[in-house]
Chain A
Amino acid sequence: MELQAVVMAAGGGSRMMDLTYSMPKPLLPVGNKPLIWYPLNLLEKIGFEEVIVITTKEVHKQMNIDTKMKLEMVYIQEDADMGTADALRHIQQKIKTDILVVSCDLITDVALHEVVDLFRAHDATLSMLMSKTHEFTETVPGQKGKKKTGEQRDFVGVDSSGKRLLFMANEADLDEELVIKKSIMRKHPRMHIKTGLVDAHLYCLKKSVVDFLADNKSITSIRGELIPYLVRKQFSASTNSQKTKDDSEKNQKKTDLKTPDIHISSKDEDLLDLAREKSCWNDHRGDMSDAYHGGKLRCYVHIMEDSMCYRVNTLAAYIEANRLAPKVFSEELPIHPTAEISEQSMVGADSIIGAACHVSEKSSIKRSTIGASSCIKEKVKITNSIIMNGVTIEEGCNIQGSVICNQAVISRGADIKYCLVGSGQCIEAEAERNNEVIVGIDQLMEI
């Protein structure tokens, strides 16, 4: 087996608590499919047959994904506060080969073979996917004023071919200056630093990295700690010196990176080195060093330009994804066959109606997503909104640009504009809400 797929579905969705306090992030509906369906669908389309899904028991109970793949669920405690790297350490025993880690909130239709080809061809330790950021055009409920650049920027440095990852740092980790080591500049005199990239949280990692994580318990997050560490280690002096794998290295400090390619016997590794030495190929030119500058640890990135790639970890991203994902992944009919739609209602072509919905007459639904078992009464106007499952909207309501979560009730005549109505909330009749986040009182208490 070449690659094992791991889907991380235990995250809390800390940046969109309003949505996720009642429903776990992997189950948030996007285009009437749970969020976790998208990465699983991506893996299935490519040809994976088995996936390890790291999630909580709650999520699994409510999850009913129809997929031909064999899903191996690994449960972790909800409140264990495990980072992604901790989760990998947890499943270290199950990992037999190189892994492909995907986050549950990734919606993309990228050709994954590009990422994995980099991993294979250059015998890389890490290969990841990044995408150019798209500006979110929709108004986000509850956002006052201009969109704040709350997201700290990532500085990503790539070499002149655009494939090799040389430098990665988050703005939060830097004080005032961006420090680039001279050893990097000596080896790669031309480096392009990009800031407008979104990390898709899709990583191809060698098995030795997982083993390294098992030994090194201080790393908790893949994105936050492991990746920058690996990128830095590419140019560290110890990995570049051609040491033989003897016992002294095993006794070194734990934080030292493992010797690469442990899983191949040393004799075979020599053979590969010999083949490389006799090959007339080099990945750079202008200096006297061999291909890859003799370094064993290599990190690659595939920066995709035109395909769709969203990470649904903020409210804005969630709304945007709801708008665009159904267009790309439209396998089912936009209007579910079991939905009852009365003849005098108007349902726009780009709306999605879930199963067992009930739309009464003279209602108009435009550019919206209605979840399963929702009930829309007469004379309701819904535009640009996301209505989740089990919502009741009484007659005469006007809902625009809003997100209405599960089991909410909007009483008659309410006028909701750009609001987020939390799960199970009830909006009183004739209410007029504009640009508000309406959640329960106990949720307000949560930090």
Chain B
Amino acid sequence: MAGTEGTTQQLQNNSSGETQDSKKNGFLQSKVESKELSKEEKQKLRKEKKQQKKNRKDDKGLPKEEKAKKPVPVMDGQQAQQQKAPPTAPVATPEAPPSGEKSGKSKTELRAERRARQDADRMSKQGKKGDPIQLVYTAKTKAPLSEPQPVVKRLPEHIQADDPAVLKKLAKKLERQQAPLSGRSRCVSGVEIPLRSDYGSKVSLFSHLHQYSRKAPLTQQMSLPSTAIHPSIVRLGLQYSQGIFAGSNSRCIALLHAFKQVIRDYSTPRNEELSRDLVNKLKPYISFLNQCRPLSASMGNAIKYIKKEISNVSSNIKEEEAKTTLQNCIDKYIEEKIHLAAKAISKSAFEKISDGDVILVYGCSSLVNYILCDAYERGRKFRVIVVDSRPRLEGRETLRRLVRKGISCTYVLITAVSYMLPEVSKVFLGAHALLANGYVMSRVGASQIALVAKAYNVPVLVCCETYKFCERVQTDSFVSNELDDPDDLIVTRKGKTELQNWQDTASLRLLNLVYDVTPPDFVDLVITDLGMIPCTSVPVVLRVKNVDQ
């Protein structure tokens, strides 16, 4: 009963002719305060909102026909549920439990809301003023009601792409980060982040991901002297989209460097606190960078760390001091998580490399290069087989660095890997991220190497710093990935480019994947700065890390 009372109050607030905006504000506030709410509660809130919107439409119609409306709202409600289901269905199917459970939940909810709506219609003539705080209260009271029901997992909005409803939401979210000011005639204090449009037809399996063209940079749609976004962030975004900073560590360091510049140039506006305002300033920058190139796991963790540090800045200390502290924090983070971690990993890996080894590496991983160069310097005798793959051909960089050091290398393309494997004694792979279920997310092709190595009983060692450990769970490479520019796949030989007009062929799609996931069965050891652990211990590390923080 408490639950339904809560809904009654909620509906009361909203059916009294509150404007959309204030309701939105109320909802926003409740969003902010609902950090503690679980996913179920958030879903409840969303469904409530939809019901209320339907309610108000009904109210504005014919208030007399209450009874006649009963079947109609139910249908509307179910329609609303169903409308929500198809957009999320293609995305949620790989992960969510079957939709049957979903409709089950809605029936009980609908019954409660029908009752509540009848109460609201009776009370609507009184028209009390709504209180957004009540909304939060009701949300909290709803919590115990929804717990026993199963959770439908929804992919966060930044992963859903192409769905028009979600695109609209995304545009609205970006808009919300804009100030009401616009136009070149005034000093723009708000932020405008243009939406980058997708390019080329996508393979349907990956239609939920974005595919951008390098020839259409985001800066095309922005004003040239970027006043809204800090110049070093614009520069960084450009460098990401053109691939000048590629590789997990490199991107993270470049991001932190840009943040240092931002902090250096930041000045707290009046009546604002650094701890809160700076975080808000960083949000549009992060959206911008995300539009240029999807954020990597390392970048995500670094951003979380910085936001935490900024929010922990006490309000007593002066601005200059706070800024210096933040910059020192960033330096410390890089020093600890990247430098020292690399040294520790290299030390452990050194024990695993023996004289006369033939080591196979794939692509270009800054950490693996560091390990090999370090081992060579310390006197180990080994040779390296560098495996490379199109279209990035990053192995050439690895080859250059290793040969420059003096290590004897062989270079093959990934198509020849099963030919080379009988010679190989161990495989070293770098990782973009380590997922919570022990899967290794790395450059596309790494899972193939691991698979073939397993078939040949060659040990596969993955080297990864702990700051790249990610709480995500993925078992396949489809659900979350990155699509690179499809034009990279086009090659010109002897003056002829066969795929030049690939877009004209309706049935042709080009796919340029960036990452893939390797299951833990193929990985024998993960070398981290905490030591050498099996792949299945990754969640333990994550748990320990969270406890620390």
Q: Does A327 contact B (CB under 8 A)?
A: no
A267 to chain B, nearest CB (A): 8
The interface size bin for chain A is 35 or more
Whether the Cβ atoms of B249 and A278 lie closer than 8 Å is: yes
Residues of A within 8 A of B105 (CB): none
In the complex, whether B184 has a CB less than 8 A from a CB of chain A is yes
Determine how close the nearest CB of chain B comes to the CB of A281; give it in whole angstroms.
5
For B249, list chain A residues within 8 Å (CB).
Answer: 278
Residue A117 at the B interface, CB < 8 A? yes
Query: Would you give the shortest CB distance from B103 to chain A, in whole angstroms?
Result: 49
Query: Are B225 and A68 in contact, CB atoms less than 8 angstroms apart?
Result: no
Report the Cα distance A138→B245, complex, angstroms.
49
Q: How many A-B residue pairs have CB under 8 A?
A: 113
Q: Which of A111, A275, A288 touches B403 (beta carbons < 8 Å)? A: A288
| Contact across chains for A281 and B256 when beta carbons are under 8 A apart | no
Contacting residues, chain B, for A5 (C-beta < 8 A): 225
Residues of A within 8 A of B366 (CB): 277-280
Tell me the smallest distance from the CB of B323 to a CB of chain A, in Å.
Answer: 13
Whether, in the assembled complex, A218 has its beta carbon less than 8 Å from a beta carbon of chain B, the answer is: no
Q: How far is the CB of B358 from chain A (nearest CB, A)?
A: 23
**A49 adjacent to B217 (CB under 8 Å):** no
* Closest chain A residue to B221, Cβ basis: A113
Chain B residues whose C-beta falls within 8 Å of the C-beta of A122 in the assembled complex: 244
Within 8 A of B (CB), among A1-15: 1-5
A271 contacts B by Cβ under 8 Å? yes
User: Does B253 have its Cβ within 8 Å of any Cβ on chain A?
Assistant: yes
Interface size on B, residues (CB 8 A): 44
Q: A116 to B224, alpha carbons, bound, how many Å?
A: 8
Q: Assess the B257–A268 pair: CB atoms within 8 A.
A: yes
Let me know if B246 and A121 touch, CB within 8 A: no
Contacts of A112 in B (CB 8 A): 224
> Once bound together, how far apart are the Cα atoms of A112 and B224, in whole Å?
8
On chain A, the residues within 8 Å of B220 by CB distance are 111, 113
Determine if A44 is an interface residue (Cβ-Cβ < 8 Å): yes
> How far in angstroms is the closest Cβ of chain A from B236?
9
Whether A278 pairs with B184 at a CB distance below 8 angstroms is no
Nearest CB to that of B239 among chain A residues? Answer: A121
Asked whether A285 is an interface residue with its Cβ less than 8 Å from the other chain, the reply is: yes
Q: How far is the CB of A306 from chain B (nearest CB, A)?
A: 14
Q: Which one, A49, A68, A123, contacts B187 given CB within 8 A?
A: A49
Partner of A117, one of B184, B185, B217: B217
The yes or no answer to B116 lying at the interface (CB within 8 A) is: no
Could you tell me if B394 and A280 are in contact, using CB atoms closer than 8 angstroms?
A: yes
Which candidate, B20-28, B148-156, B227-235, B281-289, is the interface stretch facing chain A?
Answer: B227-235
B184 touches A44 (CB 8 A): yes
A46 CB within 8 Å of chain B:
yes
Residues of B345-402 at the interface with A, using a CB-CB cut-off of 8 Å, are 363-364, 366, 394, 396-398, 400
Docked-complex contact A281 and B245, CB < 8 angstroms: yes
B247, CB-defined interface residue at 8 Å? yes
5 contacts between A and B (CB under 8 A): A47-B224, A121-B239, A123-B235, A282-B400, A291-B244
Binding site for A on B (CB under 8 A): 184-185, 187, 217, 219-220, 222-227, 231, 234-235, 238-239, 242-247, 249-251, 253-254, 256-257, 260-261, 331, 334, 363-364, 366, 394, 396-398, 400, 403-404
Top 3 A-B pairs, shortest CB-CB distance: A47-B223, A280-B364, A2-B231
